[in-house]
C-alpha cells in the first residue's frame, strides 16, 4: 500500500507482492506480528497505519470503517480484504454484505491488540462478541472445513495474545480452549504423525503446510500454559 493516501482502501495493508499488490488481512496480520516481534511499541506509526486497514476489514458500521458494505452484516467479524471494493472468502449476501468468517476474525482481533486497542474499544468488543457467538473447534465458522488448520493456528495465537484460559460461548458455556484444541488436533492426526485437510482449499491438502499449522497451534497452547 505504498504511496496510498488514507482515503484509499489499500492504505495500511500488506499483500503478497510489491507496493502495488492488493493488500489483505492475512498478510497484514503477519506483518503486524513481525513488527511487534522486533520490539516496536503498539503506538508505532507503522502499526497505527496498518490498524486503519484492519479496521476497514471488519463488518462493523463505525467511524473506523467507511466502506459501503460495512454495516450490511454488522456482526463484528472480519473479511479477507477491504481493497478493491472488498472481498470475503465466505462470499457475499444478496444485499452486498460480505460474510465474516472466524479465521480472519481472529487475525483481525489479534492485530487490533497488537496495535494497542483495549477490550473496551468498540471494535474489539464487536470482535469478541462474534467469536463468542461462533465458537467452534469442529470447523472454521463461516467456511466449514476450508482453512481449518490455518484457523487453528490463528485461533491459538490470538487466544495466547489475549492471555485468557477460557472462552465462553453464546450459550454461556465456558470452554478450556487449550484442552479442546489439543483434543481436536489429536483426533485429526494421521497414523504417520502428520495432519492434512481433505478440504484442500488454501493449499491445506499439503501435509507439510498443515502439519506446520498444527504444531504452531500446539505450541501456543503450551505458551499460554506457561503464562498462566
Is there a single domain that holds both residue 103 and residue 168? no
Q: Name the least confident of 6-10, 16-20, 36-40, 90-94.
A: 16-20
Query: Domain limits at 66?
Result: 1-134
Which of 216, 171, 210, 217 lies closest to 194 in space, CA to CA? 210
Mean pLDDT throughout 127-137? 98
In this prediction the pTM is 0.94
Q: What phi, psi does 175 have (nearest 5°)?
A: -120, 130
Is there a single domain that holds both residue 153 and residue 192? yes
- Flag whether pLDDT at 227 surpasses 80: no
Indicate the residue among 72, 99, 134 that finishes a domain: 134
pLDDT tens digits, 11-60: 999 999 765 689 999 999 999 999 999 999 999 999 999 999 999 999 99
Is there a single domain that holds both residue 122 and residue 162? no
Is there a single domain that holds both residue 126 and residue 154? no
Is there a single domain that holds both residue 63 and residue 153? no
In sequence order, what are the beta bridge partners of 101? Answer: 78
Mean pLDDT throughout 209-224? 92
Is there a single domain that holds both residue 107 and residue 157? no
- Flag whether pLDDT at 102 surpasses 70: yes
Which of 84, 55, 91, 89 lies closest to 70 in space, CA to CA? 55
What are the residue ranges of helices labelled H in the chain?
25-37, 45-56, 70-73, 102-114, 122-133, 148-162, 177-186, 207-227
- DSSP-derived secondary structure letter, 174: E
Amino acid at each position: 500500500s505504498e504511496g496510498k493516501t488514507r482515503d484509499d482502501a489499500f492504505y495500511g495493508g500488506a499483500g503478497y507482492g510489491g507496493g502495488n499488490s492488493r493488500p489483505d488481512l492475512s498478510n497484514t496480520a503477519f506483518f503486524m506480528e513481525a513488527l511487534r516481534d522486533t520490539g516496536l511499541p503498539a503506538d508505532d506509526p507503522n502499526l497505527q497505519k496498518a490498524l486503519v486497514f484492519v479496521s476497514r476489514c471488519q463488518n462493523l458500521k463505525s467511524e473506523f470503517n467507511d466502506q459501503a458494505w460495512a454495516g450490511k452484516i454488522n456482526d463484528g467479524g472480519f473479511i479477507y480484504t477491504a481493497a478493491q471494493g472488498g472481498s470475503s472468502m465466505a462470499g457475499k449476501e444478496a444485499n452486498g454484505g460480505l460474510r465474516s468468517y472466524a479465521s480472519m476474525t481472529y487475525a483481525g482481533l489479534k492485530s487490533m491488540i497488537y496495535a494497542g486497542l483495549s477490550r473496551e474499544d468498540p471494535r474489539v468488543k464487536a470482535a469478541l462478541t462474534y467469536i463468542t457467538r461462533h465458537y467452534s473447534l469442529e470447523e472454521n465458522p463461516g467456511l466449514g472445513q476450508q482453512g481449518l488448520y490455518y484457523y487453528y493456528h490463528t485461533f491459538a495465537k490470538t487466544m495466547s495474545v489475549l492471555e485468557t484460559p477460557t472462552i465462553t460461548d453464546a450459550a454461556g458455556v465456558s470452554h478450556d480452549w487449550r484442552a479442546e484444541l489439543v483434543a481436536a488436533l489429536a483426533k485429526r492426526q494421521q497414523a504417520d504423525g502428520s495432519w492434512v485437510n481433505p478440504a484442500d482449499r488454501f493449499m491445506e491438502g499439503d501435509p507439510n503446510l498443515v502439519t506446520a499449522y498444527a504444531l504452531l497451534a500446539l505450541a501456543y497452547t503450551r505458551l499460554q500454559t506457561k503464562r498462566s
